[in-house]
Amino acid sequence: MTCSVSCLGEAATAVLTTAAPLEKVRLTRLHAAAWRDGLLSPAVPAPPPDRPARPDRPELKLPRDMPKRGRGGSAQNRIALLHALAHIELNAIDLAWDIVARFAPLGLPKGFTDDWIQVADDEARHFQMLETRLNELGSSYGDLPAHDGLWQAATETAHDLAARLAVVPMVLEARGLDVTPDTVRRLRDFGDGESADLLQTIHDEEISHVAAGRRWFVHLCAERGAEPVALWQELVARHFRGGLKRPFNTASRQLAGFGPEYYEPITPEIDRRPETR
């Protein structure tokens, strides 16, 4: 399989303007391999589109209009859970390519592009895994509605790489680390070890995504002469709607180098529950 684009910007645009999920995945994996093999130049001749292409299905709704997802172990509830996660992973593919195309031209080291193309590749593989599991359960991505709030973080932070890193990997992806262990336990209790193993793999690999966000956030702070914790807290307060929520998976966050000095001081004390282990 050969790569039909010659530069990074073309690769990113090809993915972001592709609506079909499996084709988006295929192009991501193809272009990520081409980048690793040195077949793409780092040129980004034009900025990325403001919003990625989306397929006709699933129907996109406002978060408040989404049907409530049950926590029980029925096949219907497990399908709804996996479908929601597949939707997140599909958006994560586009978020990774957007951060490359939008911010790599700012003169960052090559390692920045390496990291976020690897993130895009991981997210594409995660979507494939979830789609395969949905198929095994008699469903597929697009069969259920999904919420249309995930791209809001990209729009809100399109002007500032520090804000993008503060919100997307260091809030949204970190939240995934928090909630996944309980979901894995519940799936095992329901007898769905296949789905539990899949989510555990995704959780473990997402640690490196949070770590990449923190690493490049600290890099930017050093360039700007800013103190990382203070700037992160300021940017989250300004650009993230919804507030931070407990419990925190402090063990996985620490593996990502993301310590509680960042998030504990700005998290409400109310609703304090035992930390995820």
Please check whether residue 41 lies inside any domain of the structure: no
Please check whether residue 70 lies inside any domain of the structure: no
Using the predicted structure, report yes or no on whether residue 2 has a pLDDT greater than 70: no
Stretch 127-153: mean pLDDT, rounded? 93
Amino acid present at 120:
A
Q: Spell out the alpha helix ranges (H) of 37-156.
A: 75-103, 110-136, 152-156
pLDDT digit string, tens, across residues 19-40:
999 999 999 999 999 999 999 9
Range of the domain at 232: 76-266
pLDDT of residue 242: 82
Contact in structure between 163 and 235 (CB atoms under 8 Å): yes
Decide: pTM greater than 0.85: yes
Using the predicted structure, report yes or no on whether residue 176 has a pLDDT greater than 90: yes
pLDDT of residue 272: 45
pLDDT of residue 274: 47
Q: Residue 277 — very low, low, confident or very high, per pLDDT cuts 50/70/90?
A: very low
pLDDT digit string, tens, across residues 63-111:
666 667 666 679 999 999 999 999 999 999 999 999 999 998 899 999 9
Using the predicted structure, report yes or no on whether residue 276 has a pLDDT greater than 60: no
Please check whether residue 262 lies inside any domain of the structure: yes
CA distance 269 to 261: 15
Please check whether residue 44 lies inside any domain of the structure: no
pLDDT of residue 21: 97
CA dist list (Å): 72 to 91, 134, 147, 170, 199? 26, 17, 21, 30, 17
Please check whether residue 30 lies inside any domain of the structure: no
Closest CA to 89 of 122, 127, 51: 127
pLDDT of residue 275: 47
Please check whether residue 18 lies inside any domain of the structure: no
Using the predicted structure, report yes or no on whether residue 1 has a pLDDT greater than 80: no
Q: Find how far residue 180's CA is from the centre of its chain.
A: 14
pLDDT of residue 70: 64
CA distance 162 to 240: 13
Please check whether residue 37 lies inside any domain of the structure: no
Q: Report, in angstroms and rounded to the nearest whole number, the Rg of the chain calculated over CA atoms.
A: 18
- Structural domains counted in the chain: 1
pLDDT digit string, tens, across residues 188-221:
999 999 999 999 999 999 999 999 999 999 999 9
Please check whether residue 168 lies inside any domain of the structure: yes
Assign residue 123 the CATH number of its domain: 1.20.1260
Residue 219 C-beta-side C-alpha neighbours within 13 Å: 13
pLDDT of residue 61: 76
Mean pLDDT of the chain: 93
Provide, rounded to the nearest whole percent, the portion of the chain with pLDDT above 70.
92
pLDDT of residue 148: 77
Length of the chain in terms of residues written: 277
Contact in structure between 169 and 212 (CB atoms under 8 Å): yes
